[in-house]
Chain A
Amino acid sequence: MTSELVDGMEVLSTEECLALLRSHSFGRLALVVRGAPLILPVNFVFEEPSIVIRTAPGTKLEHAPLTAVAFEVDEASSDGTQGWSVVVQGPAFDVTDAVDEYSSALRRLPVEVWAPGEKAHWLKISAVSVSGRRFVRSDGSGGRNEDG
């Protein structure tokens, strides 16, 4: 699978992005709250084309459903020589009580929850656009980076 080189970074193919989403379970939800951006780290499961997360009542449940959100996953090696990021854009939906078969299936996914408390609500983000980048530097000049 070839990817193009743009501005010194490698643009990932859609298939590479989807593979990264399938193989990871921790990311960051970006949403808009009263006109201002907010980033919240969450556990997720990706079942194309949906990113599925669980939540208790609170900011995510109050402000994400029926709005446009972004979702980001990234990793960087500790020596700063390699890294990648994938960003998804799409609408979010509260599928906690949805009766269709697809939503029922989403609610059976093994979405972990690390934060305390009951996470009875299920949100899905429909991945309308998916993009990703990767960098590999041989000289380590990316600096000391920590894993995301």
Chain B
Amino acid sequence: MRTVDARTGIEVIEREECLRLLASRRIGRIAVVDGYSPVIFPVNYLIDDADIVFRAAEGTKLTAVGRANACFEIDDYDAERRSGWSILAIGRLEELAPSDRAYARLSALPVDPWADGEHPHILRLVGTRVTGRRIGGGAT
């Protein structure tokens, strides 16, 4: 049974399906606010214990904002079929300390092309609200 947003006519993706889609992909985009401006970066990410975690290179805005509000997005749209879906995860950024249980595991990942560099920071999105929408119909 599909749930359709009455205002927009867009199909809402249920939370469980959102989490499944999040776990199935590797690239997303993260946005934070720098002053009054939003900044957005593509990142390679993983789901660790139901949290979205990713690397940020030293010296980027992501490592400078501290425990900031952040929005994470993944999508898959097909231009020919004019259809697709997108997932949003909204929360706050938290940096993993080297002593954190997950730090060693995440640091040992294969090199992340979007966050190259010798001293990557591992960030986690916490307190997350996840929503998803699908347009163009068709089950995936």
Contact = CB atoms under 8 A, between A and B. Distances in A.
Interface of A: 7-9, 25-26, 28, 30-32, 35-39, 41, 56, 58, 67-72, 74, 76, 80, 83, 85, 87, 89, 112, 114-117, 135, 137, 141-148
A127 to B, nearest CB: 14
A72 B42 contact: yes
Interface of B: 7-10, 25-27, 29, 31-33, 36-42, 44, 57, 69-73, 75-77, 79, 82-84, 86, 88, 90, 109-114, 116-117, 135-136
Contacts of B83: 114
Contacts of B70: 37
30 contacts: A26-B77, A26-B79, A32-B33, A32-B36, A35-B69, A37-B32, A37-B40, A38-B71, A39-B88, A41-B73, A68-B37, A70-B31, A70-B39, A71-B40, A72-B40, A76-B42, A85-B42, A85-B114, A87-B39, A87-B41, A114-B77, A114-B83, A117-B9, A135-B116, A137-B113, A142-B111, A144-B26, A145-B27, A146-B25, A147-B76
